[in-house]
Structure 1
Amino acid sequence: MAEETRSLEDLKSALQQAGSPVVPEAPQEETAAEPKIDEHGRAYATGKRKNAVARVWIKPGAGKITVNGREQQVYFARPVLRMLLQQPFEAAGRIDQYDVVATVTGGGLSGQAGAVRHGISKALTYYEPTLRGVLKAGGFLTRDSRVVERKKYGKKKARRSFQFSKR
């Protein structure tokens, strides 16, 4: 029983005496993630929501957001959709510190706004990896996987049946 409860140092010394090479221990300190920034000083990320896919680039600036070559006020006319784009910056405390350029395809305006928000959140974590915890806690890094359910055969819509007629 006493032989089974050897310490790690005893095993290392036994291996050295036997002539086996000792595997060095990995360092225990945590290494901070490095920012992923391209040669133009931008961070790139892809955001998705429903059928919309957004390609997002962020770089330090005055807080200007451009979507498909147009200002956010023109592209997303409803204030709720513009509010969605600001949420990651508010959670991270980086309001008006980054310029955003996004191209969005597919889906409707609501899905596109959600895709841009997802892309902004991911790009922020690539530019400043320390913000990952704050954005993850806010739920901005999780891809919302809800999509429209497909139509089934024998049904009028995905779940709606044809009207039943007794006679």
Structure 2
Amino acid sequence: MNTKLESVFQKENIGLGKRKKATARVFLVPGEGNLIINKVSGEKYLQFNTTYLNTIWSPLQKLNLDQQFDIVALVNGGGLTGQTEAIQLGVARLICKMDPQNRQILKPFGFLTRDARIKERKKYGLRKARKAPQYSKR
């Protein structure tokens, strides 16, 4: 691997995104707008779902950078929706790390906000977090 690409995959150049149980480590590589998730084509990994693809590309599209970078993401945990939103947060954080001026543009769209909602824990005496067994009066 050439030294230019090795410098892209350094710890300083990671955008870390999390959502529910999903964690994404995102790298931006100079390129022509490809998406690679876990060494698989992004379209194939996300099952050709245009909503997921648009979600990932939206921070770059707001800055008109979507044709200048390739996104390489390593994700684990969660489902496709959580992984998609984790990648989006990682991309937005990485763009801001590269140029702090981008923060003012991305912040109003909510791209830099970590969604803190996670699954509620199951309580004793209940079937799920809030679902109670059926009540019988007689």
CA offset digits 1:79-136 (Å, max 9, x no partner): 1111111111112221211111110000001100010000011111112221111111
1:7-26 equivalence runs, <5 A: none
CA offset digits 1:27-70 (Å, max 9, x no partner): xxxxxxxxxxx972463210011110000111221111100001
Greater share of residues in helix: 2
Count residues with an aligned counterpart: 130
* Structure 2 contact 38–74 (Cα < 8 Å) conserved: yes
SS of the counterpart of 1:85? helix
Runs of 4+ in structure 1 over 4 Å off = none
CA offset digits 1:125-167 (Å, max 9, x no partner): 1122211111111110111111111111111111111100111
Q: Which amino acid aligns with 2:19?
A: R
Tell me what 2:58 maps to: 87
* Structure 1 contact 81–110 (Cα < 8 Å) conserved: yes
Candidates 107, 110, 113, aligned match of 2:84: 113
Distance, in Å, in 2 between the alignment partners of 1:96 and 1:150 is 42
Name which one, 1 or 2, has greater alpha-carbon Rg. 1
TM-score, normalised relative to structure 1: 0.74
Distance, in Å, in 2 between the alignment partners of 1:73 and 1:45 is 21
Calculate percent identity across the aligned residue pairs: 40
Distance, in Å, in 2 between the alignment partners of 1:127 and 1:53 is 21
Distance, in Å, in 1 between the alignment partners of 2:51 and 2:134 is 37
SS of the counterpart of 1:160? coil
Tell me what 2:7 maps to: 40
SS of the counterpart of 1:164? coil
Distance, in Å, in 1 between the alignment partners of 2:55 and 2:119 is 21
Tell me what 1:52 maps to: 22
Task: Say which structure, 1 or 2, has more relative contact order (CA 8 Å, 6+ apart).
Answer: 2
SS of the counterpart of 1:129? coil
